[in-house]
Structure 1
Amino acid sequence: MDNENLKAAAGISGQQIANSNEEPEGFAVGEIVAVVMEHRWLVATVTAVAVLLGVAWSVVSKPVYRADGLIQVEEKASGMSALKELQPLLGDSTTVSAELEILTSRMVLGRVIDKLKLNIDVQPKYFPLIGPAIARRYEGEQPNEPVLGLASYAWGGDVLRVDALDVPRDAQNKPLTLTAGEKGKFELTDADGDLVLAGSVGARANGRQFSIFVSNINARPGTRFVIVKRSTEAAVAALRRDFAAKERGKKSGIVEVSLQGDDADRNATVLDDILKTYVRQNVERRSAEAENTLKFLETQLPTLKQEMDAAEAAYNAYRQSRGSLDLNLETQSVLQSLVEVDNQIVALKQERDELRQSFTPEHPRVQAVDQRLERLRERRKQFDSDVTKLPDTQQKVLRLARDVEVSTTLYTNLVNTAQQLKVSKAGTVGDVRIIDAAAVASEPVGMKAPAKIAISALLGLIASLGIVWLKRSLRVVIEDPEVIESQLGLPVYATIPHSDDEVALFSRTRKGKTGELLAISKPEDDAIESLRGLRTTIHFALMDASHNSILITGSSPGLGKSFISKNLGAVLAQAGSRAVIIDADLRRGHINKEFGLRREVGVSEYVAGTVKLEDIVKPTAVPNLWVVTTGQIPPNPSELLMHLRFEQLLQQLGEQFDTLIIDAPPILAVSDAAIIGRLAGATLMVARAGHHPISELEQAVKRLNHAGVLVKGFVFNDLNTDRQRYRYGYKGYVYRYSYRNANAT
């Protein structure tokens, strides 16, 4: 006890890991942070790769430019504001939704495609990924020199202009390859690499139902271009993908149009032509309506003129035959009424004919007109009865005057309407107009390079966390010693934290250098402090045992049982106990390396009876600590361990030493540990954090129990204490004292 107090006064660190029996409810933030910190290098690597990909994305991706413009859609349209009465003849008011459909229709976009030849797609053949980026940054007038001698690819400054291209129907939307030659020559091949035709700049070339006219080539000989002749449907669909039109504000009548693409000049040209084509078709449609109405009126005017002339001639002839006749006031009143009724009847008949083009006779609007016509005919009959009461001469004059009046009125109205339509047709401007012409933004639209890199980093972080989560989900391994105690019902006597110093020492030993013990070279290491705690536990565990030997084994290789055996022996020796380490792993034992001893003359030779006990007990550099090596690796390890002389070896060593530490092979690999366990005073199993599922440990315990070996408890090795630091409040606590100068204040 005094010795321990002296060590504490000297500043030796102590570590205590006390596991809590209760888990807090809710979201275990500390556990998540601990898992992330455990895999921090994986997270950092994946995120760094994602950032590099984001940088590459920023460099390789094409900039997208946006051209936009504004159109105003008016509710009504007329050639002149003074001709509002012609609105029924020129059509209904225009709705914005209908105009949006017209803007994106094949009628408008198809005209633009044909005019600008957008159905001929010409692209230089660039080297994958980096080729387009290099070409965009080249500013020379002549073609750029090929990179790495790849002369068949375009590297910037390459120009090909195709003014006409005709292909068979089955070759539409399929790539053709044009290869530039010397002095304006070129060759055109199909998708299979077969030659289609050969030609030169400035002359139409024909071959195999293909025809092409190339007006300009500025490229190195051998440079390839990809040409596609798109069908009308494909060209319109491609233009629609980049073109957008929407109303700005609710019922504002202002339509915003935009076009996106990687060529700023082309965007402005195409969008400007779309606007002009749309306005032009609108004006043409309005003008065509007025022209159609005018043509109809011009066919009716000669007939009405003849009827008017005939009525005037008959009226004048009758007056001359009867002498000068004047209508009295009563007759004039009847005449005016008759003329008015006849004009209304003619107008209603025209209205009914127009309605019958859209509706059946049973439609309410048609029936309403029929009812009005019937009432007018009734009034007409009343006027006719009034006329019969007049003298015969007055009746004849009245009828002739009525014909003249009606014919003149109809003819005059149609002449006036025709003149108004001519004026309207000449001044038609449509019901849409361009407010803002197409203009291209000086800066590319879309995400900037910093945003792309930031998004890539975020996606990389999310992906790395997903990988960590998947890795953790697939790994059904033990990370916490409490799981062993709760599910197997066996105590965990010690929890050994991970030691970077031991990793370095083990690496040196594997390289053939002289081995060292962590307990000697780094006695202040946290792992050694935990073994000091195990030393006390072993003292009590062996009090009731029949033997003073401890068997240390595990379920599978690579758990660190040899590390625990040799360093536990050193810790026991440092406390004044005479200890001996027996390397009973007659298959792969290597404890001799850490002590700088030879393997020969050990357990195998003693059991074989070729050497004495004092020949195999070898002293070490650690006072009070001896080692018994494996000896020569035998062909029958299990049979040697079952020999009576091995039991005698343990008995004799037990009489000479205070504590025997037996390092045995893993129980699930071979049965050696079960053979030795029956001869040992206590059996401890080593479990390593994150290396096996609970079922493996359960199977190992059962294997020993079936052989009559009672497992005292576990030593939980290689616990990541850095991760435990973030688990505060979740499943355990970590307390640590750091070494410092005892005189420091």
Structure 2
Amino acid sequence: MELRDYIRILHKNWIAILVLLILGLAGGAAYASMQAPKYVASTQLYVSVRTEGAATGDLVQGTTFARQIVTSYVDVVGTALVLEPVVEDLGLDVSAQALSSRVSATTPLNTVLIDITVTDSDPKQAAKIADATAVSFANVVQTQLERPDAEGGASPVQITVTDPAAEPTSPSSPNTPLLIVFGGFLGLLAGIAFAVLRSLLDTRIHTLHDLEAITDRPMLGGVAYDPEAKKRPLIVHADPRSPRAESFRTLRTNLQFLEVDSDSRTFVISSAGPGEGKSTTAANLAIALAETGARVALIDGDLRLPRVADYMAIEGGVGLTNVLIGQIDVADALQKWGKNELYILPSGPIPPNPSELLGSSAMDRVLKPLEEYFDYILIDAPPLLLVTDAAVVGKKTRGIILAAASGKTKKPELAGAIRTLETAGVNLLGVVVTMLPTKGPDSYGYGSYTYGSTHTLEQAPTELTAAQAKPKRVRRTRTKVGV
């Protein structure tokens, strides 16, 4: 993954990241509020060696001895020998061992000082324990650890309190700002981890980069998502100046320049699975091609779940199936649509053996005269992963154009459809990405703008007039088309 991929992931999941960040901040604040406040009181002791009447050298030796021994005294502060008298004198309801976890002692480097620190939930109690510990420690050192040389004499080590403990005015913990920041940091990390993991586990097609990882065939076009697509599937006719209509014209242009040296202009449009926009792509592409003045035939080759007749608002009771079994001539089954040279061949009755019909020699006899008359022939075929119809009819044509829905088609499904075509020896011409979002990191700008007004002085027709919608026969005087 490249840096732009991570930026896209963060952009795409910024809401989840923000929510987890806020939850982390709230969690840190809640944790801080549940913690009992702790107060810290400290006292400082000075350790010296008695050198009364001694020379300067003895003083130096005494100071050196004090520095060496003070490190051992630090470990003595937290022992039961020092803390049991403190518990008894103050009447504490804890044992010396439990109290030792709240008492600590340190010594600055190369000094004879000892800092005793006590932590307690009561600030006054913390100061009392610190002072009592200092007194008990001095007593233990002077009477037990460093006993005087003679009875009634003074200990050679002297412990002096230089800084008595003061009652703390504010708690040392919890550090609420720090806990809130730490909670927010954990929430941010969790949000980023969630976004990256979600992206890694998401196997759907979203971007051109996803397609490049699956196939080296070109992306012929991108069709923007339209929530009203079911209500107005023929967007090129219903709203010809809309950004989505322009995306089909871009597809038309790319298709016109696809392998210009080839004689065949018969294309199969299919998809890996259902609901990926193959039928609407075929219908709108046919209308866009007819707008250029080309003679276009749109054949509904989906003999299992036909959609073309419904989208084009024509009678689909008689069509390709009747032609293949010899009941009707192909010229009589074709229906003219609109003002341009666009002809529709519906699927007709649903047969029990669609694959056999599409792969029969009768299909060759249907396509041959149509290719002689029409500039473009588009065949809407069933999904590749469900049935073999698209691969069967694809071998009889220039190749297949795959429709893949952004955010819906899964990478393994698209890869499986491509493998099916490779196994069958069918040429994959390219991929059309449908349902592209118009906003966000996956949009690539498709459908985000248009050039010129979307309305003309006269309102663009939103539906066919009665004269335009009325099916018309192909005139035999122009060409002789038959099986």
TM-score normalized by structure 2? 0.72
Verify: 1:289 aligned to 2:142, yes or no. Answer: no
Measure, in 2, the Cα distance between the counterparts of 1:617 and 1:430.
Answer: 116
After TM superposition, give the deviation of residue 551 of structure 1 in Å: 0.3
After TM superposition, give the deviation of residue 703 of structure 1 in Å: 3.0
Greater helix content:
1
Are the counterparts in 1 of residues 220 and 255 from structure 2 also a CA contact under 8 Å?
Answer: no
> Paired residue for 2:41?
68
Measure, in 2, the Cα distance between the counterparts of 1:706 and 1:447.
Answer: 66
Q: Report the AA paired with residue 105 of structure 2.
A: A
3-state DSSP of counterpart to 2:48: coil
Verify: 1:495 aligned to 2:221, yes or no. Answer: yes
CA RMSD of aligned residues (A): 4.6
Measure, in 1, the Cα distance between the counterparts of 2:299 and 2:278.
Answer: 13
After TM superposition, give the deviation of residue 661 of structure 1 in Å: 1.8
Aligned counterpart in structure 1 of residue 12 of structure 2, from 38, 42, 45: 38
After TM superposition, give the deviation of residue 496 of structure 1 in Å: 0.8
Are the counterparts in 2 of residues 570 and 625 from structure 1 also a CA contact under 8 Å?
Answer: yes
> Paired residue for 1:147?
none
Residues 701 and 28 of structure 1: is their aligned pair in 2 closer, same or farther, counting only changes over 3 Å? closer
Verify: 1:574 aligned to 2:291, yes or no. Answer: yes
Verify: 1:253 aligned to 2:126, yes or no. Answer: no
Measure, in 2, the Cα distance between the counterparts of 1:538 and 1:486.
Answer: 23
Paired residues for 1:153-164 under 5 Å: none
Verify: 1:723 aligned to 2:441, yes or no. Answer: yes
Are the counterparts in 2 of residues 494 and 714 from structure 1 also a CA contact under 8 Å?
Answer: yes
Measure, in 1, the Cα distance between the counterparts of 2:406 and 2:130.
Answer: 66
Measure, in 2, the Cα distance between the counterparts of 1:656 and 1:568.
Answer: 19
Measure, in 2, the Cα distance between the counterparts of 1:611 and 1:116.
Answer: 111
Measure, in 2, the Cα distance between the counterparts of 1:254 and 1:64.
Answer: 29
Measure, in 1, the Cα distance between the counterparts of 2:21 and 2:420.
Answer: 45
Aligned counterpart in structure 2 of residue 440 of structure 1, from 162, 165, 168: 168
Deviations 1:18-53 (A, max 9, x none): xxxxxxxxx954443233223333333433433343
Paired residues for 1:164-203 under 5 Å: none
After TM superposition, give the deviation of residue 672 of structure 1 in Å: 0.9
Paired residues for 1:190-589 under 5 Å: 236=97, 238-247=98-107, 249-285=108-144, 289-290=147-148, 293-294=150-151, 421=152, 424=154, 430-433=158-161, 435-449=163-177, 451-474=178-201, 481=208, 490=217, 492=218, 494-496=220-222, 499-500=224-225, 502=226, 504-506=227-229, 509=230, 514-520=231-237, 523-541=240-258, 547-589=264-306
Residues 93 and 58 of structure 1: is their aligned pair in 2 closer, same or farther, counting only changes over 3 Å? closer
Residues 686 and 274 of structure 1: is their aligned pair in 2 closer, same or farther, counting only changes over 3 Å? same
Are the counterparts in 2 of residues 617 and 628 from structure 1 also a CA contact under 8 Å?
Answer: yes
Are the counterparts in 1 of residues 436 and 443 from structure 2 also a CA contact under 8 Å?
Answer: no
> Paired residue for 2:451?
739
> Paired residue for 1:56?
30
Measure, in 2, the Cα distance between the counterparts of 1:112 and 1:603.
Answer: 102
Measure, in 2, the Cα distance between the counterparts of 1:604 and 1:109.
Answer: 100
After TM superposition, give the deviation of residue 542 of structure 1 in Å: 7.7
Measure, in 1, the Cα distance between the counterparts of 2:302 and 2:13.
Answer: 34
Number of aligned positions between the proteins = 444
Measure, in 2, the Cα distance between the counterparts of 1:83 and 1:705.
Answer: 103
3-state DSSP of counterpart to 2:118: strand
After TM superposition, give the deviation of residue 481 of structure 1 in Å: 4.6
After TM superposition, give the deviation of residue 457 of structure 1 in Å: 2.9
Are the counterparts in 1 of residues 266 and 371 from structure 2 also a CA contact under 8 Å?
Answer: yes
Are the counterparts in 2 of residues 67 and 438 from structure 1 also a CA contact under 8 Å?
Answer: no
3-state DSSP of counterpart to 2:228: helix
Measure, in 1, the Cα distance between the counterparts of 2:451 and 2:131.
Answer: 78
Measure, in 2, the Cα distance between the counterparts of 1:38 and 1:457.
Answer: 20
Are the counterparts in 2 of residues 640 and 646 from structure 1 also a CA contact under 8 Å?
Answer: yes
3-state DSSP of counterpart to 1:75: strand
Q: Report the AA paired with residue 37 of structure 2.
A: V
Deviations 1:667-693 (A, max 9, x none): 233211111113334422334567554
Residues 44 and 650 of structure 1: is their aligned pair in 2 closer, same or farther, counting only changes over 3 Å? farther
Residues 259 and 605 of structure 1: is their aligned pair in 2 closer, same or farther, counting only changes over 3 Å? farther
3-state DSSP of counterpart to 1:505: coil
After TM superposition, give the deviation of residue 573 of structure 1 in Å: 3.3
After TM superposition, give the deviation of residue 431 of structure 1 in Å: 1.6
Measure, in 2, the Cα distance between the counterparts of 1:665 and 1:31.
Answer: 34
After TM superposition, give the deviation of residue 713 of structure 1 in Å: 3.2
Measure, in 2, the Cα distance between the counterparts of 1:735 and 1:631.
Answer: 35
Deviations 1:375-417 (A, max 9, x none): xxxxxxxxxxxxxxxxxxxxxxxxxxxxxxxxxxxxxxxxxxx
Are the counterparts in 2 of residues 63 and 444 from structure 1 also a CA contact under 8 Å?
Answer: no
> Paired residue for 1:175?
none
Measure, in 1, the Cα distance between the counterparts of 2:339 and 2:150.
Answer: 119
Measure, in 2, the Cα distance between the counterparts of 1:107 and 1:526.
Answer: 86
After TM superposition, give the deviation of residue 559 of structure 1 in Å: 4.2
Residues 47 and 454 of structure 1: is their aligned pair in 2 closer, same or farther, counting only changes over 3 Å? same
Residues 634 and 99 of structure 1: is their aligned pair in 2 closer, same or farther, counting only changes over 3 Å? farther
Identity %: 23
Paired residues for 1:68-147 under 5 Å: 68-77=41-50, 93=66, 95-113=69-87
Measure, in 2, the Cα distance between the counterparts of 1:597 and 1:50.
Answer: 59
Deviations 1:244-300 (A, max 9, x none): 3222x43333333323354545544544443343234345437x834x832xxxxxx
TM-score normalized by structure 1? 0.50
Q: Report the AA paired with residue 81 of structure 2.
A: M
Unaligned runs of 5+ in 1: 1-26, 121-231, 295-420, 727-732
Residues 251 and 467 of structure 1: is their aligned pair in 2 closer, same or farther, counting only changes over 3 Å? same
Paired residues for 1:682-693 under 5 Å: 682-687=399-404, 691-693=409-411
Larger radius of gyration: 1
> Paired residue for 1:659?
376
3-state DSSP of counterpart to 1:437: coil
After TM superposition, give the deviation of residue 100 of structure 1 in Å: 1.0
Residues 28 and 481 of structure 1: is their aligned pair in 2 closer, same or farther, counting only changes over 3 Å? closer
Measure, in 1, the Cα distance between the counterparts of 2:450 and 2:265.
Answer: 34
Are the counterparts in 2 of residues 282 and 432 from structure 1 also a CA contact under 8 Å?
Answer: no
Measure, in 2, the Cα distance between the counterparts of 1:622 and 1:605.
Answer: 26
3-state DSSP of counterpart to 1:667: coil
After TM superposition, give the deviation of residue 552 of structure 1 in Å: 1.1
Are the counterparts in 1 of residues 391 and 426 from structure 2 also a CA contact under 8 Å?
Answer: yes
Q: Report the AA paired with residue 228 of structure 2.
A: L
Deviations 1:456-497 (A, max 9, x none): 33332222222333344456777665786798554x152316
